[in-house]
């Protein structure tokens, strides 16, 4: 097992614990994925990132790269696959790294965790982390991909309008005369 | 202007710059929102967070609370309003903090930035940050809310299945015989 983006394994574990709260197995594997991406990508490019799962992986990206959810360089596509794509923000060319089922056979604890074949409380988390550390980047595969760059970034051209119902600012778009909460499109809370 | 979650303004600016890359105005206001939430919420509770915008606010939450995108305690609802909701993860009771248009009148640079009435390159970013610092939490309003807690968290009961097309693991759900990329539901890249 090797370093993770120039950090010793234990240093990365500390970083993960401080930010994420726990040493999530997915976040350690995510660390090896980001490390591998840095080694594979041409130096000096400007890369954006897509995570194909909202679980764990985004935090590895946020901890190890300049890309965050709030600065827009990291996006999430809710596909549920354990994969991260890094791509040149101008050309769309990039690489997609994914946890490769075929490569998990030599690491039964990782396989059990990944396929949830054992209930979480029956898993031996220390053995799992040992197995992840031993596997390092050997369980990750890489594909070359071309990401679709949206030329007309609609977000940038929206007008900040005031919703006539709640009185708050929202991004006005043709045919959207009120914000998504007041129109009923999104409902996640009620006032008390 | 007061401290932000026990940090001096300049300390917070440093934290923001390291994580987010720039001193984004929205992230400074977001800091005052999180600070206000901590002051308003009963101590000792376990709170989850919803950001109503993907821009800036999620990073304030990730920097100042234990909630991150990857650990699932922070969620984003793409409403486009400048608001953050903190709620008790068991009862759903909480508070929603939002930038209050009515309160911006005394802070013209903030108002200009928020309503994008001046192109970004014509804005005086130093004057804007000074105005934000001066305003502190005085431009934020708070509502009591009840957030809908999804009782049957489907995510937890999904089976990790292997997609027969790409061969990768994906969360199997009734009627979904392949992953969202192979079924065409989500398309963000092509292989090269």
3-state secondary structure chain A: CCCECCECHHHHHHHHHHHHCCCCHHHHHHHHHHHHHHHHCCCCCCEEEEECCCCCHHHHHHHHCCCCCCCCCEEECCCCCCEEEEEECCCCEEEEEEECHHHHCCCHHHHHHHCCCCCHHHCCHHHHHHHHHHHHHHHEEEEEEEECCCCCCHHHHCEEEECCCCCCEEEEECCECCCCCCCCCCCCEEEC
Separation between Cα atoms, residue B122 and residue B42, nearest integer Å: 42
Separation between Cα atoms, residue B169 and residue A76, nearest integer Å: 17
Q: Compute the nearest-CA separation of B129 from chain A (Å).
A: 18
- When pLDDT is cut at 50, 70 and 90, the band that residue A152 belongs to is low
ipTM above 0.90, yes or no: yes
Residue B164 structure tokens = 């027969």
pLDDT on residue B152: 55
Taking a contact as any Cβ pair under 8 Å apart, which residues of chain A between 85 and 104 contact chain B?
85, 87, 93-94, 96, 98-99, 101-102
Strands B140-147 and A189-191: antiparallel
Chain B residue numbers touching A68 (CB-CB < 8 A): 19-21, 58-59, 62
Chain B residue numbers touching A55 (CB-CB < 8 A): 70, 72
N- to C-terminal Cα separation, chain B = 53
What is the model's pTM? 0.93
pLDDT per residue, tens digit, chain B (192 aa), is 579 999 999 999 999 999 999 999 999 999 999 999 999 999 999 999 999 999 999 999 999 999 999 999 999 999 999 999 999 999 999 999 999 999 999 999 999 999 988 887 888 999 999 999 999 999 999 999 999 987 655 455 678 899 999 999 999 887 889 999 999 999 999 988
User: Chain A within 8 Å of B21 (Cβ-Cβ)?
Assistant: yes
- When pLDDT is cut at 50, 70 and 90, the band that residue A160 belongs to is confident
Contact status, residue A59 vs residue A18, Cβ threshold 8 Å: no
CATH fold for domain B9-146: 60s Ribosomal Protein L30; Chain: A; (3.30.1330)
pLDDT tens, position by position, A20-56: 999 999 999 999 999 999 999 999 999 999 999 999 9
Chain A residue numbers touching B141 (CB-CB < 8 A): none
For the cut 90, the answer to whether the pLDDT of residue A1 exceeds it is no
Taking a contact as any Cβ pair under 8 Å apart, which residues of chain B between 54 and 83 contact chain A?
54-60, 62, 66, 68-72, 76-83
Q: Do B147 and A189 touch (CB under 8 A)?
A: yes
- When pLDDT is cut at 50, 70 and 90, the band that residue A145 belongs to is very high
For the cut 70, the answer to whether the pLDDT of residue A97 exceeds it is yes
Q: Do B68 and A59 touch (CB under 8 A)?
A: yes
pLDDT tens, position by position, A163-173: 999 999 999 88
Q: Compute the nearest-CA separation of B54 from chain A (Å).
A: 6
Q: Which residue has the tokens 């600012």?
A: A169
User: Chain A within 8 Å of B18 (Cβ-Cβ)?
Assistant: no
Q: Do B186 and A160 touch (CB under 8 A)?
A: no
User: Chain B within 8 Å of A148 (Cβ-Cβ)?
Assistant: yes
3-state secondary structure A15-41: HHHHHHCCCCHHHHHHHHHHHHHHHHC
Domain edges within chain A? 9-146, 154-192
């Amino acid at each position: 097992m090797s370093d993770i983006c120039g950090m010793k394994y234990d240093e990365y574990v500390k970083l993960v614990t401080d930010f994420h709260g726990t040493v999530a197995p997915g976040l350690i594997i995510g660390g090896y994925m980001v490390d591998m991406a840095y080694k594979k990508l041409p130096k000096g490019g400007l890369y954006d990132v897509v995570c194909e799962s909202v679980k764990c992986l985004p935090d590895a990206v946020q901890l190890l790269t300049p890309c965050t959810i709030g600065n827009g360089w990291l996006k999430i596509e809710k596909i549920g696959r354990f994969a991260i794509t890094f791509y040149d923000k101008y050309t769309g060319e990039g690489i997609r790294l994914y946890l490769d089922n075929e490569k998990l056979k030599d690491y039964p604890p990782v396989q059990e965790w990944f396929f949830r074949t054992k209930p979480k409380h029956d898993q031996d988390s220390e053995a799992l982390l040992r197995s992840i550390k031993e596997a390092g980047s050997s369980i990750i595969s890489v594909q070359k991909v071309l990401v679709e760059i949206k030329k007309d970034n609609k977000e940038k051209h929206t007008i900040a309008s005031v919703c006539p119902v709640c009185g708050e600012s929202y991004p006005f778009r043709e045919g959207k005369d009120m914000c998504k909460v007041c129109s009923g499109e999104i409902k996640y809370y009620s006032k008390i």
